[in-house]
Amino acid sequence: MDIKKLLLRNETVLIFAIIIFSLVIGSKSPEFFTLANLFDILRSSFVQLLFALGVLIVIISGGIDVSFPIVGIFSGYTAVIIMQKLELNPESLFIPIVLAVLIGIALGGFNAIAIAGFGIPTLIATLGTAGIFRGVMLSFIGASFISDIPIGLDKFSTADLVKFESDAGTLVRLHVLVIPVAIITILVALLLSRTIFGRSVYALGGGTEPTRRLGISVKRTQAKIYMLVGGLSGLAGILYVSLQRKANPYDLAGSELDVIAAVVLGGASIMGGYGTVFGTVLGVLFINMIKNNLVLLGVSSSWQRAAVGVLLVIGITIQAISENRKNKRQKSASDSEVA
């Protein structure tokens, strides 16, 4: 019974999907199974994973956030502008990151006010604030591309933990970010599973009324969630700027779907109440693996978006079907009890 349950878990399905997909691509082009490719997939996943962790928390709580990419680029871009305007030490890596996280928390605070303060549905509130943030950034803070970002950030983009030349002559690099991102991932997992706050997030996803009756403040929990997500998005935004070595205020907008897709594929229930960090990590890796390697599979680049769309539809369909089955089983169980 337990093994069956384990096999039916979303994470297990995803692991199988990743393995099958790897084998298919690997059999077509052996360059897939190189360390360089693995590290490339990791590198392209860092920023998305940070965003995804934030989205996971929101989705577990029963909400949805579509403003996080805008919060991210707003924080990253504004942090760079502040660094330049105030002529802060350009060597520093610490100052821009702290700035971006603080800006992210402040923007998350706006979401918190709209959602926790006034009870606006989360999708509509974050759609609105995304428009406000983007509009304010592009009309008041700046609309031009900055290529000379502070040296500290620029240098960080090439800070590699491991760097060597492989036998085939390609450069194999593992970015140092893998450590902090792994630590943050573990911290979020612990936060969700081991703290009162984390358990309140799950409770909130189960329903607001039961949460209130448990004696948990719904508003306070929601406010904390959206500020935390803002902070995470701010961090992701500044790291994005650093890895890209440029601050482009038009970037990231529209990337919310891929991240939400990764979280949902990772098994988080959009209705709230269920979701794991491990599943999210797998979801992000899976999406990035596919995006990076569809070309190797022979899918032309213009059909990539459609392929991601098909994958998403399949993912949510499987989830919905298993959910339907569970409901039916519960229903028939309760029916037989009555009889």
- Residue from 306, 326, 329, 330 touching another protein (CB under 8 A): that is 306
Per-residue exposure over 51-75, b if at least 16 CB sit within 10 Å of its own CB, e if not: bbbbbbbbbbbbbbbbbbbbbbbbb
- Phi-psi map region of 207: left, alpha, beta (phi>0 left; psi -120 to 50 alpha): left
Euclidean distance between CA atoms 64 and 228, whole angstroms: 14
* Cα of 236 vs its chain's centroid, Å: 9
**Position 263 contacts another protein (CB under 8 A):** no
Tell me how many residues contact another protein (CB under 8 A).
50
Which pair of structure tokens corresponds to residue 260? 């939400």
Residue type, 8: L
Element (H, E) at 115: none
**Position 125 contacts another protein (CB under 8 A):** yes
- Using the rule CB under 8 A, give the single segment among 130-138, 148-156, 186-194, 275-283 that binds another protein: 130-138
Which of residues 8 and 23 has its CB atom nearest to another protein in the complex? 8
**Position 270 contacts another protein (CB under 8 A):** yes
- Residue from 80, 153, 260, 290 touching another protein (CB under 8 A): that is 260
Euclidean distance between CA atoms 125 and 112, whole angstroms: 9
**Position 186 contacts another protein (CB under 8 A):** no
Which of residues 94 and 303 has its CB atom nearest to another protein in the complex? 303
Q: Least CB distance from residue 214 to another protein, whole Å?
A: 24
Q: Least CB distance from residue 91 to another protein, whole Å?
A: 33
**Position 173 contacts another protein (CB under 8 A):** no
Query: Do residues 267 and 320 touch, judged by C-beta distance below 8 A?
Result: no
Which of residues 115 and 277 has its CB atom nearest to another protein in the complex? 115
x/- mask, another protein, residues 25-44, rule CB under 8 A, reads --------------------
Query: Do residues 204 and 274 touch, judged by C-beta distance below 8 A?
Result: no
- Residue from 35, 98, 136, 176 touching another protein (CB under 8 A): that is 136
**Position 294 contacts another protein (CB under 8 A):** no
- Looking at residues 220 to 259 of the shown chain, list those that interact with another protein (rule: CB under 8 A): 254, 257
Question: Among 200, 219, 204, 223, which residue's Cα sits nearest to residue 108?
Answer: 223
- Residue from 15, 35, 82, 316 touching another protein (CB under 8 A): that is 316
Question: Among 271, 236, 205, 237, which residue's Cα sits nearest to residue 81?
Answer: 237
Euclidean distance between CA atoms 213 and 330, whole angstroms: 24
- Residue from 193, 317, 330, 332 touching another protein (CB under 8 A): that is 317
- Looking at residues 63 to 102 of the shown chain, list those that interact with another protein (rule: CB under 8 A): 64
Within 10 angstroms of residue 321's Cβ, the number of other Cβ atoms is 10
Which of residues 153 and 259 has its CB atom nearest to another protein in the complex? 259
**What's phi and psi for 246, nearest 5 deg?**
-160, 155
Which of residues 91 and 323 has its CB atom nearest to another protein in the complex? 323
Binding site for another protein (CB under 8 A): 64, 114, 118-121, 123-125, 127-139, 143, 254, 257, 260-261, 264, 270-271, 300, 302-310, 312-313, 315-317, 319-321, 323-324
